[in-house]
């Protein structure tokens, strides 16, 4: 991984093609290989089979979020984003399957609300992930909401490349 920025740029290019028009078999193989390399960089110790199951790379992205579930409003820090969900740091994760509404402040001062459900929880200190918290899978997103998620995902990639 001597040239991580170049790897990330090529992943970003292929990911955009994948979303817009689809990839050839050779491009898909390259995209998968690059996703594995980047996953190993961002989350060392992640099994390749787990990385292959993820629809997109989980990119570090720290944003304060509020979420509401069963009438309770809580605050958290989002640690990463993918096209399909986010990871929220919290010492008290909700149960798997719990539905919630995420409220994110996005760069231009707007607040976006995204539906999701808890897909995974991490509570042990020996977890190989970001720490205590919960993985949220987006659910029932409108086309406009998915567009916003894609913009946030692209912004996260750009911030990693710049930083």
- Cβ-based neighbours of 17, under 8 Å, separated by 6 or more: 23, 27
Neighbours of 38 (CB within 10 A): 21
What are the tens digits of pLDDT across the range 122-137? 865 544 445 789 999 9
Q: What pTM, to 2 d.p., does this model score? A: 0.86
Whole-number pLDDT of residue 53 = 85
Structural domains in the chain, sorted by start: 4-53 (no CATH), 59-162 (2.40.10.220)
Cα–Cα distance between 12 and 60 in angstroms, integer? 14
**Position 145 confidence tier, pLDDT thresholds 50, 70, 90:** very high
Q: Please provide the average confidence, as pLDDT, over all residues in the chain.
A: 88
């Amino acid at each position: 991984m001597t040239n991580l920025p170049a790897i990330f740029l090529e992943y970003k290019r292929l990911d955009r093609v994948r979303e817009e028009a689809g990839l050839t078999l050779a491009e898909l193989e390259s995209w998968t290989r690059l996703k594995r390399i980047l996953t190993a960089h961002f989350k060392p110790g992640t099994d390749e089979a787990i990385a292959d199951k993820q629809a997109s790379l989980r990119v570090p992205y720290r944003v304060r979020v509020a979420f509401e579930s069963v009438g309770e409003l809580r605050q958290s820090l989002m640690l990463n984003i993918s096209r399909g969900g986010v990871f929220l740091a919290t010492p008290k994760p909700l149960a798997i399957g719990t539905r919630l509404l995420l409220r994110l402040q996005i760069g231009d001062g707007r607040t976006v609300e995204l539906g999701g459900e808890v897909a995974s929880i991490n509570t042990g200190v020996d977890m190989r992930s970001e720490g205590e918290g919960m993985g949220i899978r987006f659910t029932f997103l409108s086309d406009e909401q998915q567009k916003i998620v894609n913009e946030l995902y692209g912004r996260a990639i750009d911030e990693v490349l710049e930083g």
